[in-house]
Amino acid sequence: MAIYPGHLATDDDKLSPNVPVARDTPPMFLVQAEDDYVDGVRQSLVYYTALAKARVPVQMHLHLYAQGGHAFGLRPIKFPITRWPGLAEYWLQTVRMIPE
């Protein structure tokens, strides 16, 4: 899982050469707030695109969360993004990483 990831994209919106993506890359869960001005949503978008192109199972929760900023973590906050851990748990079950 990549939670408000950074350093995945280059300045020209390409995947960083330090982030290898191949068909055998593990399934990925991405979550980021649109108002993350530290690492910005393009980090997740570029990574998502690379994963999808490589046909890696990927689930991105980006468009759902307009607010949350950077480093929202696990602490309860007033925005809907606070519910991401439940979505992550359900995703872990769907990819059979944890039991249902």
Contact at 8 Å (CB) between 1 and 29? yes
In this predicted structure, the answer to whether residue 8 has a pLDDT above a threshold of 80 is yes
The rounded mean pLDDT for the chain is: 89
pLDDT confidence tier of residue 70, bands split at 50, 70 and 90:
confident
Does the reported pTM lie above 0.85? no
What's the CA gap between 11 and 100, in Å, rounded? Answer: 40
Q: Is residue 14 part of a domain?
A: no
Q: Is residue 72 part of a domain?
A: yes
What domain range is 47 assigned to?
2-7+26-94
Give the pLDDT mean for 64-73.
78
Q: Is residue 13 part of a domain?
A: no
Q: Is residue 49 part of a domain?
A: yes
User: How many domains does one find in the chain?
Assistant: 1
